[in-house]
Chain A
Amino acid sequence: MSYHAGDYDVIVIGAGHAGCEAALAAARMGCETLLLTINLDMVAFMPCNPSVGGPAKGHVVREIDALGGEMGRNIDKTFIQMRMLNTGKGPAVHALRAQADKFLYQHTMKETIEKQERLTLRQGMAEELIVEDGACRGVITKTGAEYRAKAVVLTTGTYLRGKVIMGELMYESGPNNQQPSVKLSENLRSLGLELVRFKTGTPPRVHQDTIDFSKTEIQPGDDKPKYFSFETEYSDLANQQIPCWLTYTSEETHKIINDNLHRAPMFSGAIEGTGPRYCPSIEDKIVRFADKPKHQIFLEPEGRNTKEYYVQGLSTSMPEDVQLRILRSIPGLEKVEMMRTGYAIEYDAVVPTQLWPSLETKLIPYLFTAGQINGTSGYEEAAGQGIMAGINAARKVKGEEPVIIDRSAGYIGVMIDDLVTKGTNEPYRLLTSRAEYRLLLRHDNADLRLTPLGYEIGLIPEERYRKFLDKKNRVEAEIARLRETKFKPDEEVQAMLASLESAPLQNTVDGVTLLRRPELSYADLEKLSPSPVELTEDMKEQVEIQIKYTGYIEKQLQQVEKLSKMEKKRIPEDIDYGIIHGLATEAKQKLDKVRPLSIGQASRISGVTPADLSILLVHLEHYNRVTAAARG
């Protein structure tokens, strides 16, 4: 028996990192939104590592923030350590990484959601989608509540037919012993969606008081940390940071693992799901890289008010007794108490080539999916898709065109394009090397790339936008000023150059030319010629980066420009590839499956050759001319 439980514009199923962003975005864009979760205590839960950010992932958090999302603000309020990685490398790959107080992170996000206007948070297990006339119109829960909506976003994480595996032990479960979602998975399959089985894993957790930190190396945070959100200017937490610790596996560790491989489900065949290469279990690492004498193990606190430590580097699905022996073979952990056992988890995911770039399913209009259900891995990847699915569900409800972020405008765009165009045969993780325009997709310029869009779609409030424009204008004005400012080879200038071991000036040059010298920074130039208007550190950094790397930036911009005509050349959604004369059979099948929206997207499908693209172009031209002629 079911009962009518309410009407909404958008329903989001699942309140993990994707679901939270999706629900907040939809509600903030004016939609009456319902956020359903199996367990209200698990909102924005971090079932694996207690950290946010890093290369590419941190970039995504900045992008989410630039669009008006929550993850950046939330981690800024709840971090226990902040560290900028890759500072010795170029500005494009500087990457912020935070250790989170995972409990505070959850509670803070839950509070934000609870306070959000037009957003209802409710506990309930979604079991069946309501599909009418082919379109998704709501959901029915285990308790018979029938929620109706104009659009539904599915963010089920690793819950779909979840199965936990530890050695010989195997049981149906979501992450961290939560209830798995079995019926919904069956429902999706019966609706015709193609599902795949993926696998991921998590390491054991240990008690702080049983760790001998003297045998480990300290890994502190930055003294003057940067923040994820463009809105965070200062935090008291900067002075209350907690370190992580580094140790290594030992010879003994490797021996224990090798002696117990027959009990490892990875090798006994018990695991059918595909795991990620970039996140292998310790047994996998030791088998595949037998020559490597030791592996890094980071000990990371799970929060301020807990003694639990996460053992990064030791993801495993070995039996519990073996896990304990492995832990105790590691320097510093000889007497460790294990609080939670590591495990592998298998789950169902949707084959992501079934989605439009808006994250709406092609099969069932008004149904969107985001996060791990789309075959990705990682909180940030999930949140990045979540915000886009929320935005596009809201826009669809309002009868507006979907928003699609270009590959040259954000890692979010790279990720979604990869997923819907190429699919993935393992849990997908973002890496900076997946972006072809890495230099354009910097940590520092996420606001320049995406905040105008966030404002346009209604997620960035007026006041924040004005502040953003002010920053942009000041940066541009300062670059223009430096271009006009002349530096003569006088005593002051030559002395400064000498002090920086930079060659003396021969002629008068402008400030831009001078700043391009690798030895000089904006701070040096500022001493000779300070800006007449006040600039924040962020603005100065922006001026410096934009001037110093102009050559490389221009090169990438030209490539973007060159390819943009391919991206702009649209393909009708209802095109019939079967009737296109001359198209290779493989290309026909692939194109028909992916149904790319532009020639640019089509060019990224493996198996579609340049000749196929040419033929497609000729066909489209033919089609357009015929249609034009028919219209008279």
Chain B
Amino acid sequence: MTEDTIAAVATALGEGSIAVVRVSGPEAVERIAPLFRSKTDLREAKTHTVNYGWIVDPADGAVVDEVLVTVMKGPRSFTAEDVVEISTHGGIVAVQSVLELVLRSGVRMAEPGEFTKRAFLNGRIDLAQAEAVIDLIRSKSNRAFQVARRQSEGALSKKIVPLRRQLIELLAHVEVNIDYPEHDVAEMTASAITETCGKVLEAVRGLLKTAAEGKILREGIVTAIVGRPNAGKSSLLNALAQDNKAIVTDIPGTTRDIVEESVSLSGIPLRLLDTAGIRETSDVVERIGVERSRGALNEADLILLVLNHNEPLHEDERRLLEELEGRPVIVVVNKIDLPGRLELDEVRSRFEAERIVEISAKEGTGIEALERAVSKLFFGGSIESEDLTYVSNARHISLLHGAAKSLQDAMGAAEEGIPIDLIQIDIAAAWEQLGEIVGDSVGESLLDQIFSQFCLGK
């Protein structure tokens, strides 16, 4: 059975460590070799060897990262297929850039759990493990689904949706011309195709440019900071921001008029929700209060619950503690420089010790402990350690490149006078690739569009 070649990041997210991009399939070596500059040509590298060199963008020869590349020919590999592993420097940018190049070279993004699935199907994993393999696929897919759903409401999706709209209207028009040739619908012309495709192409290129600058696509762990007004949320925010001089992004939210900021916590990007709400003056905060935080809570990957060491638990806080049980929460006990009036025992009865961090935002103490706790929470196993958010960004970039190429092909074909039903193939490909970013599937919706856009019948 011939399979296609797949890739994914095989290690957890985090700076300072090494990240591995794993590629598996019959074309693994062939696809990666052109990206790898080294004294050994990867095609000639012996199996089970580690090769030193650089990953370069074959388009312009630019060096992306210094890497070690391991070649393992099947069947003596994890998946029993040819496997190439690229060890890059840790951190988001390097691994994402490498993965993006790999995907652009014609390798498909692996589905959740696909390496393990292939290992099993190829007989590398014992029969007794079938159930465990299924559980892994299910849990990874569920997580990926949640991420995808969140992203479908994200800034990138909001920009993609109107582009797809333009393409589907164009497609519906082309299809009507084909399927209802005698209907009084104007024939689609090459110039109209070129015009629409040109507009969409320009927008896609714009997105790619912003992506390259890391403004839109670099999303991190969605984090909500919650707590009562006087607990010290804003001073925690300031401490985090100060600790990382650079605030990476400042995206005005599109749905809820909430400002988001990103900070990097030991290499882990946190996307902080509702920082505006936190920074507003206290009387306003009082008004917005818990109600507003609640919205953020539902979206968050990580919840930082800030409690005031200097005050007893408030009724609101008790309710929150109860509600947040079982969620990815870290309880931040702030103001430990002040006398303790907080019922810490009660908090401890609900949360494990490693989920409770004591800090003084004012004095800047305990921030490292918070970093360790976040790191532990995300890489210690209690949450899926593979951060699909940032991995899928590389996928998004490669899909945007693919869509751009299809649009160019369509425009080129229109110019050459190729018939519209053939140009349609490229337009549909662009529409589908953009659809993969927003998570829409192709199919019936084109027909729906045709029949809602045009009056047809006999």
Q: Do these two chains interact?
A: yes
**A interface residue numbers (CB < 8 A to B):** 48-49, 55-56, 85-86, 88-93, 95, 203, 277-281, 284-285, 288-289, 292, 295-296, 298, 312-313, 315, 431-434, 438-439, 518, 549, 552, 555-556, 562, 565, 581-582, 606, 609-611, 614-615, 617-619, 621-622, 625-626, 629
- Asked if A95 and B457 sit within 8 Å, CB to CB, the answer is no
* Contact call A565/B1, Cβ cutoff below 8 A: yes
Query: Chain B residues in contact with chain A, CB under 8 A?
Result: 1-4, 111-114, 117, 120-121, 127, 130-131, 133-135, 137-138, 141-142, 145, 175, 177-184, 187, 416-422, 425, 443, 446-447, 450-451, 455-458
**Residue contact A438 to B421, C-beta cutoff 8 Å:** yes
A298 to B181, CA, bound (A): 14
Which of B117, B182, B184 interacts with A614 by CB under 8 Å? Answer: B117
Q: Is the CB of A90 within 8 A of B179?
A: no
Chain A residues near B4 (CB-CB < 8 A): 562
- Chain B residues, Cβ within 8 Å of A298: 182
Instruction: Give chain A residues whose Cβ lies under 8 Å from the Cβ of B455.
Output: 280, 285, 288-289, 292, 295
Residue from the list B141, B179, B182, B421 in contact with A431, Cβ < 8 A: B179
Extra contacts besides A90-B421, A296-B184, A433-B446 (13): CB < 8 Å = A86-B178, A90-B418, A92-B422, A277-B451, A279-B458, A285-B457, A312-B458, A433-B178, A565-B1, A614-B114, A615-B137, A621-B121, A621-B130
Which residue of chain A has the shortest Cβ distance to B454 in the bound complex?
A289
Q: How far apart are the CA atoms of A86 and B421 in the complex, in Å?
A: 10
Q: Are B417 and A518 in contact (CB under 8 A)?
A: yes
**10 closest Cβ pairs, A-B complex:** A90-B419, A611-B141, A582-B134, A289-B455, A622-B130, A277-B451, A90-B421, A85-B181, A433-B175, A280-B457
Q: Given A279-B457, A549-B422, verify A618-B179 contact (CB < 8 Å).
A: no
CB pairs A–B below 8 angstroms (9 shown) = A85-B182, A89-B421, A284-B457, A298-B182, A431-B179, A433-B175, A518-B418, A582-B137, A618-B134
Instruction: Name A555's contact: one of B131, B135, B425 (CB within 8 Å).
Output: B425
A432–B179 CB distance below 8 A = yes
Partner of B422, one of A55, A289, A552: A552
- Which residues on B sit within 8 Å (CB–CB) of A48? 458
User: What's the nearest-Cβ distance from chain B to residue A482, in Å?
Assistant: 21
Q: Which partner residue on chain A sits nearest B142 by CB separation?
A: A611
Contacts A278-B456, A610-B111; is A93 near B134 (CB within 8 Å)? Answer: no
B112's contact among A518, A611, A617, by CB below 8 Å, is which? A611
Q: How far is the CB of A227 from chain B (nearest CB, A)?
A: 19
Cross-chain contact A439 with B422 (CB below 8 angstroms): yes
Residues B175 and A431 in contact, CB atoms below 8 Å apart: yes
A581 touches which one: B112, B134, B425, B450 (CB < 8 A)? B134
Q: Which residues of B contact A55 (CB under 8 A)?
A: 178-181
Q: How far is the CA of A95 from the CA of B420 in the complex (A)?
A: 15
Q: Is the pair A433, B450 in contact by a Cβ cutoff of 8 Å?
A: yes
CA A562 to CA B187, docked complex, whole Å: 34
Residue of B nearest to A584 (CB): B138
Query: Which residues of A are found within 8 Å of B135, using beta-carbon distances?
Result: 582
- The reply to whether B178 and A278 form a contact with Cβ atoms under 8 Å apart is no
Return B31 CB to nearest CB of chain A, in Å: 16
**Is the CB–CB distance between B416 and A56 below 8 Å?**
no
Q: Which of B120, B142, B181, B425 contacts A86 (CB 8 A)?
A: B181
Enumerate chain B residues within 8 angstroms of A549, measured Cβ to Cβ: 422
Contacts of B131 on A, CB cut-off 8 Å?
A: 581-582
Contacts of B111 in A (CB 8 A): 610-611, 614
Contact indicator B422/A617 (Cβ below 8 Å):
no
Question: Which residues of B are found within 8 Å of A581, using beta-carbon distances?
Answer: 131, 134
* CA gap between A315 and B455 in the complex, in Å: 14
Q: Is the CB of A565 within 8 A of B2?
A: yes
Asked if A56 contacts B425 (CB within 8 A), the reply is no
CB pair A552–B457 under 8 Å, yes or no, is no
> With A565-B2, A582-B137, A582-B138 in contact, do A617 and B179 touch (Cβ < 8 Å)?
no
Neighbouring B residues of A622 by C-beta, 8 Å: 127, 130
The residue of chain A having its C-beta at the shortest distance from the C-beta of B176 within the complex is A433
A281 / chain B contacts, CB cutoff of 8 Å: 457
What is the distance, in angstroms, from B444's C-beta to the closest C-beta of chain A? 8
Q: How far is the CB of B152 from chain A (nearest CB, A)?
A: 15
Given contacts A56-B179, A312-B458, A582-B138, contact A625 B421 (CB under 8 A): no
Bound-state CA distance A565–B183 (Å) is 40
> Of residues B175, B418, B455, B456, which shows the largest number of chain A Cβ atoms within 10 Å of its Cβ?
B455
Chain B residues with CB below 8 A from A49, complex form:
458
A618/B130 contact (C-beta < 8 A), A86-B181, A89-B178 known: yes
- The complex places the Cα of A454 from the Cα of B40 at a distance, in Å, of 55
Instruction: List A contacts of B113 (CB < 8 A).
Output: 611, 614
**How far in angstroms is the closest Cβ of chain B from A219?**
8
Taken together as a complex, chains A and B put the C-alpha atoms of A284 and B456 apart, in Å, by 11
The docked-state distance in angstroms from the alpha carbon of A625 to that of B128 is: 11
Structural contact, A313 and B457, CB atoms closer than 8 A = yes
A89 to B180, CA, bound (A): 13
Contact of A625 among B127, B175, B181 (CB under 8 A): B127
Which residues of B sit under 8 angstroms from A292, Cβ to Cβ? Answer: 455
Cβ of A177 to closest chain B Cβ, rounded Å: 21
CA distance A580 to B110 in the complex (A): 23
Q: Which residues of A contact B133 (CB under 8 A)?
A: 618
Alpha-carbon separation in the docked complex, A93 to B424 (Å):
12
**Would you give the shortest CB distance from B18 to chain A, in whole angstroms?**
28
Residue of A nearest to B456 (CB): A278
Given A90-B422, A581-B134, are A95 and B181 neighbors across the interface (CB < 8 Å)? Answer: yes
Q: Which of A93, A556, A565 contacts B421 (CB 8 A)?
A: A93
Which residues of chain A are near B112, meaning CB under 8 Å? 611
- Inter-chain CA distance A140–B180, complex, in Å, is 43
Contact partners of A562 in chain B: CB under 8 A: 4
Which of B182, B187, B458 gathers the greatest number of chain A CB atoms within 10 Å? B458
- Chain A residue numbers with a CB within 8 Å of B182 are 85, 296, 298
B443 to chain A, nearest CB (A): 8
What residue in chain A is nearest B130 (Cβ atoms)?
A: A622
Q: Find the A residue at minimum CB distance from B113.
A: A614
- A434 to B: closest C-beta gap in Å: 8
Cβ contact within 8 Å between B120 and A621: yes
> Are B134 and A431 neighbours in the complex by a CB distance under 8 Å?
no
Shortest Cβ distance from residue B195 to the other chain A in the assembled complex, whole angstroms: 20
- Hey, which chain B residues are within 8 Å of A93, CB to CB? 178, 419, 421
A470 vs chain B, min Cβ distance (A): 30
Q: Which residue of B lies closest to A620 (CB)?
A: B121
Q: How far is the CA of A562 from the CA of B3 in the complex (A)?
A: 8
Residue from B117, B180, B181, B420 within 8 A of A90 (CB atoms):
B420
Task: Report the Cα distance A92→B142, complex, angstroms.
Answer: 41
With beta carbons under 8 angstroms apart, the residue of B141, B418, B447, B457 that contacts A609 is B141
CB contacts (< 8 Å) of A609 on chain B: these are: 141, 145
Query: In the complex, are the beta carbons of B447 and A431 less than 8 A apart?
Result: yes
In the bound assembly, the distance between CA atoms of A518 and B417 in angstroms comes to 7
Q: Which of B121, B130, B142, B179 has the most CB of A within 10 A?
A: B179
Which of A48, A431, A610, A611 is packed against the most chain B CB atoms within 10 Å? A611
Give the shortest distance, in Å, between B115 (CB) and chain A (any CB). Answer: 11
Which of B134, B418, B419 makes the CB contact (< 8 A) with A619? B134
A91, A433, A439, A625 interface centre (most CB from chain B within 10 Å): A433
Contact B450 A614 (CB under 8 A): no
Give Cα A617–Cα B137 distance, bound, in whole angstroms. 11
A91 to B114, CA, bound (A): 40
Q: Chain B nearest CB: distance from A154 CB in Å?
A: 26
Closest to A568 in B: B1
| Minimum CB–CB distance for B27 against chain A, Å | 13
Instruction: Decide if A89 touches B419 in the complex (CB within 8 Å).
Output: yes
- On chain B, the residues within 8 Å of A618 by CB distance are 117, 120-121, 130, 133-134, 137
Cβ–Cβ < 8 Å partners of B418 in chain A: 90, 518
Residues on the B chain within 8 Å of A433, using CB? 175, 178-179, 446-447, 450
Residues of A with C-beta under 8 A to B422: 90, 92, 439, 549, 552
Contacts of A88 in B (CB 8 A): 187, 419
| Chain B neighbourhood of A431, CB < 8 A | 175, 179, 447
